[in-house]
Amino acid sequence: MSLTKLPNEIYDEIFAYLEHMADIFSICATHSTFKASAQRRLFKSVQLPVERYVELRKCKLFLRTIKASPELAVFVRCVQLDISEQRIDEQHLIPDILGKLPQLEEICFTFPEGPGNSVLYQAQIQGLYNGVKNTCAPKVVIRSSCPIVVSKLMQIPSAKEIVIRPECVMNPPSYHARHPAYSWEEPVILPNLCGIDLSSFRVNPLEISKICMHAINLRRFNATVPRSVLPNAIVDALTPVCGTLQSLELQHPSRCSISAPTHRTQADFSTFSALKSLRVPSTMWFPTVQCGFNQREDTGFAWKHGNRPDISALLPPSLETLDIRFAWPTGIFAMGGNYQRQFLALPDALQAKGFHWIMELTASAGCRHVRLIEEDSHADCDNGGATPFWGHPRRQPLAQRAFLAPRAVKDVFDAAGVTLDIKVYEREEWKRKRTD
């Protein structure tokens, strides 16, 4: 088959790997067959400046292009508005540009980090909002931790999904003292909002509760919560959307900490009637190990009911997928640092004893997929890299692989129609056993 006779979908897949605009320009001029796919790649994501003292030739050129060739405007799926300074031009061309993009799916705002508490800045944010409020984009990405910016841009009427993703994990309350009249989680009612991603924006139960009261039809929620927050406090904060929430993902701001709190309460999600996917840290239900410099690493296997209580009654019947993430010093099968070396030395019949609490999850009526994931104890979720811990040198992140459960355990899950996936980080003990 000739290269020029392939389906357009194949060209789209190939050109998606191109990163340099010069290469895409060259393809557009190479052959008429490649031109449409190359143009789709070229105009899929457009970055535009929104600044006062920066020449806006790029905006004017782009607007003139889509006016002359309206078919190119259909290719635009994402517009990135780059505000590199805390000065925003209220007379920009953004409203005219957004009004000519009928297939726009995402609009992304990038702001400099900082409080931006001046009256002029607040007026400029209002002007920016007035320019983008009529957009048709269902997804809004806000790369800022400023409460004024977040609270205003969350109110874009067309937004069905909002992602707040600053450069690093931020704690909004740290800005509240500088903005006594602004609270980022207190916009107007957001009836169209179906999903919100706060995974890079640390929130507390009070803020979660306010968000849920505003977004009354929320279906997807992703947030980073402090380790010190009690599990039942998080559940109480999510109560306003317990009848609509379908997907919930929670995580802690740091996986590597000197002390891990031991909670005596358990998160009860049984009243979340529409919940289908639940991804939470193990601290929602299971106690953690107190970590100290004199703490003994080998604290025994987590086979006692006090360490791994039955949680099937705390899950809703509608639940289909359950992900539980375990971070050091609490492990999937034991409480302590060297549990893997000991657990691997056990015969399969004795290893099955460590799965009793896991097999209880098959009692959940609707759950069809259970995933138990071990998190790298040295990984730093703030920067995505491996960090030194207690004086140990920086090292490469550990590789992760699947752990195969004993045959007797697998038979129980197969009989219940439940898929069990266990992911652990590979160490030398795993490598030796795999090669034996």
Closest CA to 198 of 269, 250, 260: 250
Is beta strand 161-164 parallel, antiparallel or unpaired with respect to 139-143? parallel
What pLDDT, on a 0 to 100 scale, did the predictor assign at position 349?
A: 76
Closest CA to 37 of 8, 79, 71: 8
What pLDDT, on a 0 to 100 scale, did the predictor assign at position 179?
A: 42
Tell me, what DSSP letter sits at residue 114? S
Residue 182: enclosing H or E segment and its boundaries?
A: none
Which tokens is 76 given? 């635009």
Rounded distance, CA 396 to CA 206, Å?
38
CB atoms within 10 A of CB 75: 17
- Reading the chain (436 residues) residue by residue, the pLDDT tens digits are 566 677 777 877 777 777 777 777 787 777 777 777 888 888 888 888 776 545 567 888 888 999 998 988 999 999 998 876 555 554 567 888 888 999 999 999 988 766 555 677 777 788 888 888 888 899 999 988 787 888 888 889 889 999 988 865 555 444 333 344 445 555 667 888 999 998 877 888 988 988 888 888 999 999 988 888 889 999 999 999 999 999 999 988 754 444 445 556 789 999 999 999 999 998 899 877 665 444 454 457 777 777 788 888 899 999 999 999 987 767 788 776 566 567 767 777 777 777 888 888 887 767 899 999 887 655 444 333 333 333 344 445 566 778 888 888 888 899 888 999 988 776 555 554 444 4
Rounded distance, CA 341 to CA 385, Å?
25
Whats the size of the chain, residue-wise? Answer: 436
Residue 436: HSE in the Cβ half-sphere, 13 Å Cα cutoff = 8
What pLDDT, on a 0 to 100 scale, did the predictor assign at position 41?
A: 84
Rounded distance, CA 304 to CA 307, Å?
5
